[in-house]
Structure 1
Amino acid sequence: MNKPIVIMNFTGVYDYESFSHNPKFAWIDCTHLQGVECYCDKDGASALKKVIENYPAEGIHFIDSGNYHYLTKFWTDKIHQPFSLIVFDHHPDMQPPLFKEMISCGSWVEDVIKTNPFLKKVIIIGPSEQLIKSVAPQYQNQVEFYSEQSLEQDTTWKKFSAEVISTPIYISVDKDVLNPQSAATNWDQGSFTLEELEQLLSIILKHEQTIGIDICGECPATLNIFEEEKEAQLDSAANKELLKFFLSTQSHAFQQAFKK
């Protein structure tokens, strides 16, 4: 099976991002789905699993705003071999869920840990020290964190470069890890530049086998059309750069999918 580039369009924002207007990309229209924004209920989860059932975890998946970051769980549920999850995010996404019967954009990492028997390791890169401290104690030993602040130190970069991951990996990138000059999101953002993010990704991709990738962090529409156009152009440029970066490290099939 080919490794597709998938666009999951919930908010309509990709309509305004020129990078996505490639006829070889697989578009999945999710604008009609109910019970899926931020919190995903049972019916919403069932509908989402159905719309992605014919697509593999292998590939690059654009999953709209950070409100839908929980989709990483649904994509990684398709992996049936030991793997590690690498998450770039300004938030750990390990908050205690408000509704136990729902998966949310703020608690999905915990859900993956609890439910996926193939998951061997989780590494989260870019959250603030304060948010890391809020993670429940029972997960502190199961998840390795590289905070935004710690990566300013040479010793942490050396530790990160020497990181040993003994399984194939799935990478999830929330663009809120980037500074506001590099991307526009609907959550508070970190301080990484695109170049710094790609440096970190390069360290991982140089040594590890990548199963699949997803990217979120789009900025949904506002009432200010001029601001919307500016944000869409900024995010489109960031997505295009990340896509080219990932394609340069991946197979010929990926590269052909990106060419018109």
Structure 2
Amino acid sequence: MEDDNRIIRDRYAKSVLVMNFTGVYDYESFLRNPKIKWLDCRHLNGTECYCDEEGASALKRLIAGYSPQGIHFIDSGDYHYVTKFWTDKLDSPFALMVFDHHPDMQPPLFEHILSCGSWVKDVLDTNVNCRKVVIVGASDRLVQEVPEEYADRVRFYSESSFDQEVGWKAFAAEHISEPVYISIDKDVLNPSSAVTNWDQGSLSLLELERLLAVVLRQEQVIGIDICGECSATLNLFEEEQEAEIDNRANGELLRFFCSFDTKK
């Protein structure tokens, strides 16, 4: 089985890109494949949680030569806003599907500053090709705080019914008619499945994969990114433990996406 997984990862490694902001991926063995492309982002200024104009310009230059298609690992949830830069590269209408315990639609604290908590709102405000946002796994309390002005372009899908294909077909027929870009923040998972630096949801990794399988079977997926790594602490042993949990989750998600694609 491991040999089969390695062959699958090798086959798709060229479509995998890693954006290393914090150095956490250095502790995750699932990415140890020479065919995977790494982008070193550790030297960039103005990018942690909040992305200022300098940071945005640097990131845009860094990814300029890469396609939004494929699988992108974009470090911790502090950098989830990077999804905006990837989807800005899409040149035709699409629906953005976000698996996240937070809607990431807060009003920005500072004008012209993109943040990990506001980036979905920024996509809706600035990207004319984004026709719909579907958010899965967000906290009910935070969902209620989403501004009403976005009600016609944002949909929330409940965890309880998402893995029922009949329910998804009806939902997609009503709300989605474009190719889908998938963005996953592992804080949608429970703490046993992933370790992040934000409060987390209740999904297990298996439940998340079942939800994703429904989408992959029914929709045209044009790109994927994954964030939600654990942040550094002063406890090296704890860091290594947390990184190993995320390593398993990331490795399983990579295997899942690659093996699913081979069946189509």
Q: Do the two structures share a fold, i.e. TM-score over 0.5?
A: yes
Partner of 1:174: 185
Q: How does 1:1-260 map to 2 (within 5 A)?
A: 4-146=15-157, 150-152=158-160, 158-164=166-172, 165-250=176-261
Q: Distance in 2 between matches of 1:36 and 1:118?
A: 25
Q: Does the aligned pair in 2 maintain the 1:123–1:144 contact within 8 Å?
A: yes
Q: What secondary structure, in the 3-state scheme, does the structure 1 residue paired with 2:251 have?
A: helix
Q: Does the aligned pair in 1 maintain the 2:75–2:228 contact within 8 Å?
A: yes
Identity %: 61
Farther off after superposition, 174-183 or 2-11: 2-11
Q: Does the aligned pair in 2 maintain the 1:3–1:56 contact within 8 Å?
A: no
| CA spacing shift, 1:24–1:154, aligned 2, 3 Å | closer
- 1:151: Cα distance to partner? 2.3
Q: Distance in 1 between matches of 2:139 and 2:58?
A: 34
Instruction: Report which of the two has the higher share of helix.
Output: 2
Partner of 1:258: none
| CA spacing shift, 1:4–1:216, aligned 2, 3 Å | same
Moved over 4 A (4+): 153-158
| CA spacing shift, 1:189–1:161, aligned 2, 3 Å | farther
Q: Distance in 2 between matches of 1:42 and 1:180?
A: 34
Partner of 1:256: none
Per-residue CA deviations over 1:83-111 (Å, capped at 9, x if unaligned) read 11000000000001101211100000011
Partner of 2:3: none
Per-residue CA deviations over 1:39-92 (Å, capped at 9, x if unaligned) read 000000000001111110011000000000000000000000111100000000
Q: Distance in 2 between matches of 1:121 and 1:94?
A: 14
- 1:152: Cα distance to partner? 3.0
| CA spacing shift, 1:184–1:155, aligned 2, 3 Å | closer
Q: Distance in 2 between matches of 1:154 and 1:9?
A: 32
| CA spacing shift, 1:154–1:116, aligned 2, 3 Å | closer
Equivalent residue letter for 2:147: A
Say how many residue pairs are matched. 248
Q: Distance in 1 between matches of 2:171 and 2:103?
A: 19
Q: Does the aligned pair in 1 maintain the 2:14–2:36 contact within 8 Å?
A: no
Q: Distance in 2 between matches of 1:226 and 1:154?
A: 37
Q: Distance in 1 between matches of 2:73 and 2:85?
A: 13
- 1:221: Cα distance to partner? 1.3
**TM-score normalised by the chain length of structure 1:** 0.91
Q: Does the aligned pair in 1 maintain the 2:100–2:185 contact within 8 Å?
A: yes
Q: Does the aligned pair in 1 maintain the 2:14–2:37 contact within 8 Å?
A: no
Q: Does the aligned pair in 2 maintain the 1:38–1:67 contact within 8 Å?
A: yes
Q: What secondary structure, in the 3-state scheme, does the structure 2 residue paired with 1:101 have?
A: coil
Name stretches of at least 5 consecutive residues in structure 2 with no aligned partner: 1-12
Equivalent residue letter for 1:213: I
Name stretches of at least 5 consecutive residues in structure 1 with no aligned partner: 253-260
Partner of 2:7: none
Q: Distance in 1 between matches of 2:232 and 2:163?
A: 41
Q: Distance in 1 between matches of 2:19 and 2:126?
A: 24
**TM-score normalised by the chain length of structure 2:** 0.90
| CA spacing shift, 1:57–1:4, aligned 2, 3 Å | same
